[in-house]
Structure 1
Amino acid sequence: MKRITLLFLSLTVLMSVVCCKNNDTQKQTDSQNEIQEDTIKIVHRDKAKGIEYNLESSKKWLQENKTDSLKMQIVLAVNRTDKASVGKIDSIIVPNTFDNKVEDYLPFPLQIEAIKKISKIIIFSYPTQTFAAYKNGTMVYTGPTNMGRKKDPTPTGLFYTNWKAEETTSTFNDEWDLKWNFNIENKLGVGFHEYILPGYPASHSCLRLQEKDARYLYDWAEQWVLADKETVKAKGTPVLVYGSYDFDAPKPWAKLITKPDALEISENELAGLLEPHVNEILKEQKNSENIRLQL
């Protein structure tokens, strides 16, 4: 009887020790996670200074630089166009130096500290016709876009990527093939995808991209997770579309000639635009992470 009692007591003590260790381990893991989350650091760096812009004949510039892929990439981004369309623009804006990265010629800030806990987000600026993708508050990609024309403006606000297709047909015209399409507004059929960039807002509500940019976002952003055809279990990557475009004024990037920083988007401006949405985004992000772990 004494042996049974001693054995029972030993097992009880052992279980208590194991339980305490498990609790301590869990607390330690939770603590590490909190520390890791709270210590995400944003390392700020200034954009390159000294970039100026001139207006040049597109025909002449293309003749002299058509084989220089780096210069071509930067000029296309600055003029919000693509290689197939740039020759149709009479005069293009050209920087005085090509020694910097593409992001130095475009207006988005390199970091947004206020969104460092948001794992992924894509932001489209209607006024500047550019987009940027951020991971934990640091820009990972940026480029030009041509958004909705005056008659068919792109809806603004907070959206989430849902379904995607390497190639699909436009709901507006079944003769238009859309490559690397990622839908953000299912009922309206609005998404970002590769299509012609004439150098101004010309789409029927969608967000047009150069093919390399569309392909990047296609691979980088996440699709939604569906329980059935009508029920969304987890949303995709948040997408903020903001601002408006003055269709009756000259192209905004023409201002770069007299004021090189005319279109710069400040970190504070974006933090203010995102502030009302941060809690919702973080809530959806946590739910998405939990759902995807179960897949």
Structure 2
Amino acid sequence: MKFNLNKSSIIFVLSFLFLFIIQCKKEKKPTTEETPTKEEKVDSAKQDSIRKDSIEKAHIKFSAFIFPKKKRDSAMSVFKEKYSEQERYTILALNRLDEKNSWRADTLIIPNKFYDNFLKYSPFPAQVDLLKKVKKFVYFSYPIQAFAVYENGDLKKWGPTSLGKKSAKTATGLHFTNWKKKLAISTVDSDWKLPYNVNIANRLGIGWHEYDLPGFPASHSCLRLLKNDAEWMYSFAEQWVLTDNGNTVKANGIPVIVNGDYNWGGERPWLKLLNNSTGNQISEKELAKNIHPFIEKILAEQKNREKVLSEMQ
């Protein structure tokens, strides 16, 4: 059988084949290189979450609730009637106060949105790449009187604190958690009971624990927390590992950095939020800069702890 193809037929056949090849390429499944990896998908999801949080934070605005000196009691009654218990907790925490010390307030910052998730109000970055290899990390900021907890670079918790007063400042720099006790007694005054105490400077007797938050740095060097935060942080913290005789530290607990200084005598930092809703924000770049001088030590101590624990098994 013979086929006599003229020039037009040849062009038609070639055109058809060309279109068929193009269509096949379009329908071809992506190669392994083109398909996003599991890690890339996770990173993308995290970035989407961070962008969403940033947008939500940008929409949070703050107003002032002022307590006049002559009608403080009536103003406090209005405050308690206007806001629910959970909303009051959020408001007081943002003002570095607990319920017991709410009477100290003269001006409170009030958010225009109330979230069940307190992370929405965080002044700390949601992620810190420098901490990706660090399993557990705690950061206390003197300037804004707040703490942040990270796991492998992801922000897990933040909250208010009251660090050391000017005459008894909390030692800044790198610390590690040592021992912990559900109810410790202060070495300064035996009448001071310290629930959920986690020591970070054994010789100085400094640790974080539940105690009064009056809206400013007021402690004798310790790191005060709200009850709920102190209980959570107590469970989160890991203790040091000692030799059998208890005289030598074989491995430290988790790293803790206390950074910066307070604006003594100046405006309370959170009041800046009335004019600038991001006035207390600490950027990832700034936080990484503060952590960077200690990162090698942190990773070395973490590696040593893993080794010691593995040898104990």
- Asked which structure has the greater CA Rg, the reply is 2
CA distance, structure 2, for counterparts of residue 147 and residue 210 of structure 1? 12
1:229 Cα offset (Å)? 2.8
Identity of aligned residues (%): 41
CA distance, structure 1, for counterparts of residue 79 and residue 239 of structure 2? 39
CA distance, structure 2, for counterparts of residue 81 and residue 240 of structure 1? 22
The Cα offsets for residues 234-285 of structure 1, whole Å up to 9 and x where unpaired, read as 1000001000001110211111111111110000111111112111111111
CA distance, structure 1, for counterparts of residue 42 and residue 253 of structure 2? 22
What is residue 51 of structure 1 aligned with on the other side?
Answer: 60
User: What amino acid does structure 2 have at the position aligned with 1:103?
Assistant: L
The Cα offsets for residues 58-83 of structure 1, whole Å up to 9 and x where unpaired, read as 615532245x2331232122101111
3-state SS in 2 of match to 1:84: helix
1:57 Cα offset (Å)? 3.4
Moved beyond 4 Å, runs of 4+: 39-42
Count of aligned pairs between the two proteins: 260
What is residue 288 of structure 2 aligned with on the other side?
Answer: 271
1:40 Cα offset (Å)? 8.7
Question: TM-score, normalized by length of structure 2?
Answer: 0.78
Correspondences of 1:142-153 after superposition (within 5 Å): 142-153=158-169
1:169 Cα offset (Å)? 0.8
CA distance, structure 2, for counterparts of residue 108 and residue 264 of structure 1? 6
What is residue 240 of structure 2 aligned with on the other side?
Answer: 224
User: What amino acid does structure 1 have at the position aligned with 2:65?
Assistant: E
The Cα offsets for residues 128-165 of structure 1, whole Å up to 9 and x where unpaired, read as 00001100000111100000101111110000000000
CA distance, structure 1, for counterparts of residue 290 and residue 42 of structure 2? 21
1:119 Cα offset (Å)? 0.4
What is residue 249 of structure 1 aligned with on the other side?
Answer: 266
3-state SS in 2 of match to 1:85: helix
2:93 maps to 1:84 = no
1:105 Cα offset (Å)? 1.8
CA distance, structure 1, for counterparts of residue 61 and residue 43 of structure 2? 32
Q: Cα gap change, 1:281/1:186 in structure 2, threshold over 3 Å: closer, same or farther?
A: same
Question: TM-score, normalized by length of structure 1?
Answer: 0.83
What is residue 207 of structure 1 aligned with on the other side?
Answer: 223
What is residue 155 of structure 1 aligned with on the other side?
Answer: 171
2:120 maps to 1:111 = no
What is residue 240 of structure 1 aligned with on the other side?
Answer: 257
What is residue 88 of structure 2 aligned with on the other side?
Answer: 72
3-state SS in 2 of match to 1:215: helix
2:207 maps to 1:198 = no
User: What amino acid does structure 2 have at the position aligned with 1:205?
Assistant: S
What is residue 14 of structure 1 aligned with on the other side?
Answer: none
3-state SS in 2 of match to 1:260: coil
User: What amino acid does structure 2 have at the position aligned with 1:107?
Assistant: P
What is residue 114 of structure 2 aligned with on the other side?
Answer: 98
Contact kept, 8 Å, 1:40 with 1:116, in 2: the verdict is no
What is residue 121 of structure 1 aligned with on the other side?
Answer: 137
User: What amino acid does structure 1 have at the position aligned with 2:63?
Assistant: N
Contact kept, 8 Å, 2:123 with 2:280, in 1: the verdict is yes
CA distance, structure 1, for counterparts of residue 131 and residue 285 of structure 2? 11
List alignment gaps of at least 5 residues for structure 2. 1-37, 68-75
Q: What value does the CA root-mean-square deviation take over the aligned residues?
A: 2.2
The Cα offsets for residues 190-235 of structure 1, whole Å up to 9 and x where unpaired, read as 1100000011100000000001101111001100000033210110
What is residue 166 of structure 1 aligned with on the other side?
Answer: 182
Q: Cα gap change, 1:100/1:214 in structure 2, threshold over 3 Å: closer, same or farther?
A: closer
CA distance, structure 1, for counterparts of residue 93 and residue 159 of structure 2? 6
CA distance, structure 2, for counterparts of residue 212 and residue 247 of structure 1? 28
CA distance, structure 2, for counterparts of residue 223 and residue 237 of structure 1? 8
3-state SS in 1 of match to 2:59: coil
Contact kept, 8 Å, 2:65 with 2:109, in 1: the verdict is yes
1:54 Cα offset (Å)? 1.1
What is residue 291 of structure 1 aligned with on the other side?
Answer: 308
Correspondences of 1:129-144 after superposition (within 5 Å): 129-144=145-160
